[in-house]
Chains A and B, each alone.
Chain A
Amino acid sequence: MPFVYNLPFFCVFLCMVTAILLSAAKSARVSWYSTLGAAALSAVLSGVLLMYITRADEAVAFTMGKFPAPLGNEIRFGPMQALLAVCFSSVQALSMLGGRRDMFHDVEDKKMGLACVMLNMVLASLLVLTFTNDIFTAYVFIEISTISACALVVAKDSGSTLMATIRYLFMSLLGSGLFLFGIVLLYSLSGYLLMPQLSSALSELMVSGDYRLPLAASAAMITAGLGIKSAMFPFHRWLPDAHGSATTTSSAILSGLVLKGYAVLLITMFTRVFSLEAVHELGLGTPVLLLGFLGMIVGSLYALREYHAKRMLAYSSVAQLGYVFMGIGLCTEAGIAAAIFQILAHAFTKPLLFISVGRLSCAAGHEKELSALRGSAWSAPLAGIGFGIGALSMIGVPLLAGFTAKLGLASASISDGKMSTNVVLLVLAVSSILNAMYYIPALIAIWRPAKERVRLEKDRAFAAGAIALIAGVLIFGIFFQPATELITRGLELM
């Protein structure tokens, strides 16, 4: 086996070791920079893996420890997993850069080390949720990601973050409890924990028709559990408080990445473990599709009446996750591919919006009401441009990532050829209009002619982060062909 195939494990290990070492670090600067370094290094290494594995055109099962397949633990990766890992690691690094000033402002110096531990653990758990081939490992890392995500919200010490965290925590625990019960049912039905063995045992069960009810119950519990954790409508109520009140970096990472980790795991469960036909046969496709629709519409309606910029962005995440669930709910290869592209596109766009709002609110004296941000773009032009590009991408303007994602979803529903096509297109159109209805006024408000400009200190870290994220949004909007090909190939190799 080529040495490159050790890299996924190495990336996870790097983040976890950095986390452990940092728990003893005293200096806030040292811990912040080494966390940034770990994320950047993991992005580079995943990039190397991506290049190698695309050329080799294969998916690899990597045995962890000395026990071979049915007993031991495995991770499994192909082009798609490598692409997701590059995206997660680089967006984490860029969100840290973009929110650097806010983070040093919001988090006490003494606590910085611990906050950085949590950042590392979040990345480690995201990578594991992408790579893992073992459902129990997935459960353990879901809980690790729960704890670290909650700790990231509460890193900014205030009354509202405390309340937001406790609600987030209990909702997440409910979700992981359901997921755990679901996988225990699967284990008792099949006797396996590794996904390929589990999958062949389940397909036998599907053919023979035995144990249909427990199988459907466990699939439903897994879907509901992961749905709660990735803010599927109607389980989204915790999200705006948690994402709206945290510090900039935390909001960007929680909204852009953490929610996606669970969605990616759900996709892996559907494609690798249950197979799409089985999901359809067990009657899970339609509910997921409908909840996706509702999320897209209701999330946007809530965002429409919100006056707090970050809470507006958080509600918009509910709508954007609705797109992902809609793609999954179509239960076709094309739908899943479109959902993954939407995950990538949103992972670049939403952090860009969050760090731009963070910078803009710096110009408005750390106020985050939209009324206070009026005209602030003139004091921080780059943040204004970043917000503009992010907002236009969310609405779905061509040449930007959001447009390509919507195009992918629409064409996935057309090639499907079922009755749902019309409904999908209609809901896509309505939700795009709703998106425009709250993003355009916000955009106009921040670019309103301002009488006086606030002189802001230069922030090179923010500039670097924002420019790189803008580049990401443009690349996924214009040169999307390689990414879509990688995703399609990755799904075939799943």
Chain B
Amino acid sequence: MTNLINEVIDNRYAVTAVLLFVIGLANMLLQPNLIKKVVAFNIMDSATFLMLASRGFVEGRVAAVLTDGGADVSRYVNPIPAGLVLTGIVVSVSVSAFSLALIQRIYARYGTVELGELLKLTKKEKV
């Protein structure tokens, strides 16, 4: 039991990331509200970024920015995950913007963002 607890504490970032990812995933599948779905997607992505950033972090080192300390590699954390997280954030922001624009359009047309009501309304439209 203490083993398990120690393991969880050692891997606390990964555990948190997985929990957040599952929360995001479940909400994305089950949430009927479109805006909340976008939020869920962002939680899911943030969990991945947490995972990435924590993998590149080394205790007691600083960000890979050249200062007066010189180019000694052992002072810095791994900069590649940080670069990946930045790219990932850009992607997730643009996707969120696109989905929010789409939802705005749906709201203007139907006056609701609940998936169930929307499906009813579009069914009526077809008949």
Contacts and interface: CB of A to CB of B under 8 A. Distances in A.
Contact of A163 (B24, B51, B87, B119): B119
Interface string A120-153: 0000000000000000100110010011001100
Nearest to B24: A177
A140 B48 contact: no
A208 B87 CA distance: 33
Given A154-B102, A163-B118, A169-B102, A181 B95 contact: no
Range of interface residues on A (Cβ < 8 Å) = 20 to 34
Nearest to B41: A173
Contacts of B37: 170
A159 B123 CA distance: 10
B15 interface: no
A166 B125 contact: no
B84 A136 contact: yes
A143 B47 CA distance: 17
A417 to B, nearest CB: 39
A187 B51 CA distance: 11
A159 B109 contact: yes
B28 A147 contact: no
Given A160-B126, A181-B21, A173 B95 contact: yes
Contact of B87 (A140, A185, A187): A140
A115 to B, nearest CB: 15
Interface in B83-110: 84, 87-88, 91, 94-95, 98-99, 102-103, 105-106, 109-110
A177 B95 CA distance: 12
B23 interface: no
Contacts of A160: 122, 125-126
Interface in A274-290: none
Judged by DSSP, the binding face of B is helix
A contact face: mostly helix, strand, loop, or mixed: helix
A188 B51 contact: yes
A174 B109 contact: no
Contacts of B29: 174
Given A184-B52, A188-B51, A188-B55, A163 B122 contact: yes
A169 B99 contact: yes
A188 B49 CA distance: 12
Contacts of B82: none
Given A136-B84, A180-B45, A181-B48, A174 B106 contact: no
A162 interface: yes
Contact of A159 (B24, B102, B103, B125): B125
A294 B45 CA distance: 31
Interface string A377-392: 0000000000000000
A18 B98 CA distance: 21
Interface in B31-50: 34, 37, 41, 44-45, 47-48
Contacts of B122: 159-160, 163
Interface string A45-88: 00000000000000000000000000000000000000000000
A248 interface: no
Nearest to A151: B98
A162 B126 CA distance: 14
B99 A177 contact: no
Contacts of A188: 51-52, 55
Given A154-B102, A166-B103, A174 B25 contact: yes
A184 B51 contact: yes
Interface in A161-217: 162-163, 165-166, 169-170, 173-174, 177-178, 180-181, 184-185, 187-188, 193
Nearest to A143: B91
A154 B80 CA distance: 36
Contact of A147 (B44, B80, B94, B106): B94
Contacts of A193: 80
A184 B87 CA distance: 13
A177 B118 contact: no
B34 A166 contact: yes
Contacts of B41: 170, 173-174, 177
Contact of B105 (A162, A169, A180, A184): A162
Contacts of B28: 170, 173-174, 177
Given A140-B87, A177-B45, A187-B55, A146 B125 contact: no
Interface of B: 21, 24-25, 28-29, 34, 37, 41, 44-45, 47-48, 51-52, 55, 80-81, 84, 87-88, 91, 94-95, 98-99, 102-103, 105-106, 109-110, 118-119, 122, 125-126
19 contacts: A143-B94, A154-B102, A159-B109, A162-B102, A162-B109, A163-B122, A165-B102, A166-B99, A166-B103, A170-B99, A173-B95, A173-B99, A174-B29, A177-B21, A184-B55, A187-B52, A187-B55, A188-B55, A193-B80
Given A136-B87, A143-B91, A143-B94, 19 more contacts: A140-B87, A147-B95, A159-B110, A159-B122, A160-B122, A160-B125, A163-B118, A166-B103, A174-B28, A177-B24, A177-B45, A177-B48, A180-B45, A184-B55, A187-B52, A187-B81, A188-B51, A188-B52, A193-B80
Interface of A: 136, 139-140, 143, 146-147, 150-151, 154, 159-160, 162-163, 165-166, 169-170, 173-174, 177-178, 180-181, 184-185, 187-188, 193
